[in-house]
Amino acid sequence: MASAKIVIDGKTYEVPIIEGTEGERAIDISKLRAESKVITYDNGFGNTGSCQSAVTFLNGEKGILHYRGYPIEQLAEKSTFVECSYLLNYGELPKKSELRKFDKAIRSSGKIPKGIKDIIDSFPKKAHPMAVCSSSMVALSGFYPELNDVLELDDKKKMSIITQLMGQILTMSTRFYRNSQGKAPRNPKEDLDYCSNFLYMMGMKPDPELAKALDTLLILHADHEQNCSASTARVIGSAHANVFASISGGIDALWGPLHGGANQAVLEMLEQIQKDGGDSKKALQRAKNKEDSFRLMGFGHRVYKNFDPRAKIIKKACDTVLSKLGVKDPLLDIARALEEEALKDPYFVERKLYPNVDFYSGIIYRALGIPTNMFTVMFAIGRLPGWLSQWKEMLEFKGTKIVRPRQIYVGENHRDYLDIKKR
């Protein structure tokens, strides 16, 4: 096995180097503190491998995204969201009978307990949908106590959890949406596919082309390696918390504007441009001015250094939705103008600041008539099977430890307590 030498205070420590199946190498420092009394410092864990995983491979420099080894381009073209969900959680593409069983289980799992309905119905109409999504998710643990002890979960129960939550998240999210619109909730239909069912429950016509475009979008969102929300689900799960708590934690992390809230930020940016006169060229000039506080949202990506492989795929889905619906919306006109101008502007081309998946997903949701504050819930619906696969893998990996990072203390040194009368 390859190794590296680390010199600390003149003493040399030999640490192993481990290598993944795609050639990524890592220095294993798991025993370094015990031997040297020194820890490593990595703000944000951007250079730290927190686990070994076989779920998703991402290469930001080359623009590669694979689910269980399958390129995202192939899955988006040939697969379905339900099939990808099976793949993420079980490692292989399902046989016909396996997919039929999995799909049927999801379709029949949409009902939610009356208590959960009451919780959702108790929220004010103006509540943020992510608050409702997270709260109702963790509340499910009170209605399924037999699933709370993760050490007692066999393969059958894990399968049941996956299909149950994929069905119930649609019901919970659409129920609150309908409430917020002053309309009666719709129950799921078992004869509709996953995305057609969602459209129906939202109150839309389950058009096959729109359902397919939405299905593609959910595939692109299904997993993205050890991002903030997936890592959160794993951290919570490492304490052997129940699955509902782990997934609820993932939802909460996704809620952050630096993570899942990016597509909402795109629409808010477009609204700001509209208020300023709707001039896309002026907006691009402002974005290039470092002295200007205006930021161009939905362009570039923290991980992908060249291009986001999902963006080209989702652009096609976006064009399908806009063409099918024939929507006349000034915000969408601004978005298209921004895209066109940025793709030929040397400043953005040289810096490889291309429209990313968040830019196009926001446009699709807007065209479908989904409110801006529901965008992150849509992201959560897509990311759910990824969180579940990360949680399941973490639970089944024999070397999993409870997550407990160290810190570099920079506070006051020892101080003696001073009586309040002497302060």
Local confidence pLDDT in tens for the 423 residues of the chain: 799 999 999 999 999 999 999 998 999 999 999 999 999 999 999 899 999 999 999 998 888 999 999 999 999 999 999 999 999 999 999 999 999 999 999 999 999 999 999 999 999 999 999 999 999 999 999 999 999 999 999 999 999 999 999 999 999 999 999 999 999 999 999 999 999 999 999 999 899 999 999 999 999 999 999 999 999 999 999 999 999 999 999 999 999 988 888 888 888 899 999 999 999 999 999 999 999 999 888 888 878 877 788 888 888 888 888 888 887 788 878 988 998 888 889 998 888 888 888 888 888 888 888 998 999 999 999 999 999 999 999 999 998 999 999 999 999 999 999 999 999
Global pTM value: 0.91
Q: Which two tokens stand for residue 361?
A: 């997903």
pLDDT at 7: 95
Long-range residue pairs from 43-51, CB within 8 A, at least 24 positions apart, any chain: 45/231, 45/405, 50/226, 50/231, 50/234, 50/403, 51/226, 51/234, 51/394, 51/397, 51/400
259 is catalytic: no
Tell me the DSSP string of 262-311. HHHHHHHHHHHHHHTT--HHHHHHHHH-TTS----TTBS-SS-SS--HHH
Separation between Cα atoms, residue 106 and residue 82, nearest integer Å: 9
Q: Which residues pair with 329 in a beta bridge?
A: none
- CB of 299 closer than 8 Å to CB of 188: no
- Find the catalytic residue in 103, 193, 252, 358: 358
pLDDT at 258: 85
- CB of 13 closer than 8 Å to CB of 5: yes
261 φ/ψ sector (left φ>0, alpha ψ -120 to 50, else beta): alpha
Q: How many residues does the chain have?
A: 423
358 is catalytic: yes
Separation between Cα atoms, residue 147 and residue 233, nearest integer Å: 17
The domain segmentation of the chain, as residue ranges, is 3-59, 69-257+390-396, 262-368
- Find the catalytic residue in 301, 308, 329, 345: 301
The structural architecture, per CATH, of the domain 262-368 is Orthogonal Bundle (1.10)
3-state percent helix, strand, coil for the chain, nearest multiple of 5: 55, 5, 35
The CATH superfamily assigned to 69-257+390-396 is Citrate Synthase, domain 1 (1.10.580.10)
Three-class secondary structure of residue 53 per DSSP: coil
The structural architecture, per CATH, of the domain 3-59 is Single Sheet (2.20)
Give residues with Cβ within 8 angstroms of 260, minimum separation 6: 229, 253, 254, 376, 379, 380, 383
- In 91-135, the DSSP E strands lie at none
Residue given tokens 């390696």 in the structure block: 225
Q: Which two tokens stand for residue 124?
A: 């004010």
Identify the sign of the CA torsion 396, 402, 405, 406: negative
CA Rg, the chain, in Å? Answer: 23
pLDDT at 95: 98
Separation between Cα atoms, residue 9 and residue 19, nearest integer Å: 28
Q: Which two tokens stand for residue 338?
A: 């921004």
pLDDT at 265: 85
pLDDT at 326: 87
